[in-house]
Amino acid sequence: NFCTSDKEFPDYVRLGALVGLTRHAALGIEDETLRNGVRKVFSTILDPKYATEKKLRPEIGEWFQLKALEGLTSFKTPEGPDGPTGTLDLFKKMVDDDKLDFELRALAARGIGAMDLTKVQNWDFVALATSLTTLARDLANRRISTPNSSANKSKARRRRPARPAVWAARWAAPAAV
């Protein structure tokens, strides 16, 4: 697997492989062994040590995490490589991590919302509710503490890590023909 291999690959090769895996996950992977392998890859990328070990620049590491979150969310199941609630546990851990980028925390919460949790038993849903409430509070505090002046808005934008050009192109208007 190019995404998590120990071999040295350029970031763009790893990212291309990850985009492909994310698309396959979204389309559905019939074979359970392959599906579990892809879940393991996504979980590995979401490990905070992954970006450091692969020597990814911070903005590229964040992009990898966004794609891995997108991929795991597309399965819409709490199951993961670490058991019947592996993905649910991982997403809750991300929601709880106040040092993690807020966007990633919010996407993890969205991923939990997309899961079918009807068959999950003996799991602490009260702790999940507390985590999601804390996330909502953090969002409210963040908005309250951010002044509305345009000068402060531009400063806030500069503090945010730059997104790769690929992401900007994704949202750009189609070129005129």
| pLDDT exceeds cutoff 50 at 151 | no
Q: Give CA separation, 130 vs 33, 78, 88, 117, in Å.
A: 34, 18, 15, 17
Residue with more model confidence, 9 or 110: 110
Please name which of 36, 62, 35 lies closest in space to residue 50, comparing C-alpha atoms. Answer: 62
pLDDT of residue 71: 92
106 forms beta bridges with: none
pLDDT in tens, 102-150: 889 999 999 999 999 898 988 999 999 999 999 998 888 877 776 664 4
Write down the H helix ranges in 28-149.
32-46, 48-53, 58-74, 86-96, 102-114, 125-145
| pLDDT exceeds cutoff 60 at 92 | yes
What does pTM read for this prediction? Answer: 0.73
- List b or e across 142-169, with b for residues whose CB sees 16 or more CB atoms inside 10 angstroms: eeeeeeeeeeeeeeeeeeeeeebeeeee
Q: At 27, which helix (H) or strand (E)?
A: helix 11-27
Measured torsion, CA atoms of residues 164, 165, 166, 171, in degrees rounded to the nearest 10: 110
Average confidence score pLDDT of the chain:
80
Cα–Cα distance, 92 to 57 (Å, whole number)? 25
**Residues 50/64, Cβ–Cβ less than 8 Å:** yes
Please name which of 90, 74, 88 lies closest in space to residue 118, comparing C-alpha atoms. Answer: 88
pLDDT in tens, 47-77: 888 888 888 888 888 889 999 999 999 989 8
**Share above pLDDT 90 across residues of the chain, in percent, rounded to a whole number:** 25
Cα–Cα distance, 95 to 107 (Å, whole number)? 9
Cα–Cα distance, 157 to 177 (Å, whole number)? 32
